[in-house]
Amino acid sequence: MVLEMRLLLKGLLSVVLFGIAGCSGSTDQPDLAEVSGVVTLDGKPVPGVNILFQPESGRAAVGMTDDEGRYELEYVYGVSGCKMGSNTVGFDWPPDSPSMVAIPAKHTGTNAFKFDVKPGDNVFNISMTSK
């Protein structure tokens, strides 16, 4: 009976230690850096637009501009930041957005803004012109 209890306790201890080691292991999330800024068109803030920073490979980070055009990026829900390295900027309007401003074609597609995200805090103000 005592031997059986020791084996059972050893087995439970092994499961608990293995579980703890698994929880503290590595993640597949890349190194991230904070990214924020202001989006303007002809000097006026662009509110309510989704801004996407797309790295050369991997998941895009997304933010939404507030009434003053300010944004902060999130990599995934609740995790702020953006994958470091070269990122291309894209814009997207939420469905039924009341304040849709046309993003000039010269600031999209192959002419999109590109930024090099570095460790730490990055501030990228995006100033667009319609002319």
Domain range summary for the chain, segments of one domain joined by +: 32-128
Model confidence band, residue 98 (pLDDT cutoffs 50, 70, 90): low
Q: What backbone torsions phi and psi does residue 120 show, to the nearest 5 degrees?
A: 95, -155
Distance CA 26, CA 7 (A): 30
pLDDT per position as a tens digit, 74-87: 999 999 999 999 99
Kindly report whether the global pTM for this prediction surpasses the value 0.85: no
pLDDT per position as a tens digit, 101-117: 777 777 777 678 899 99
Fold topology of 32-128: Immunoglobulin-like (2.60.40)
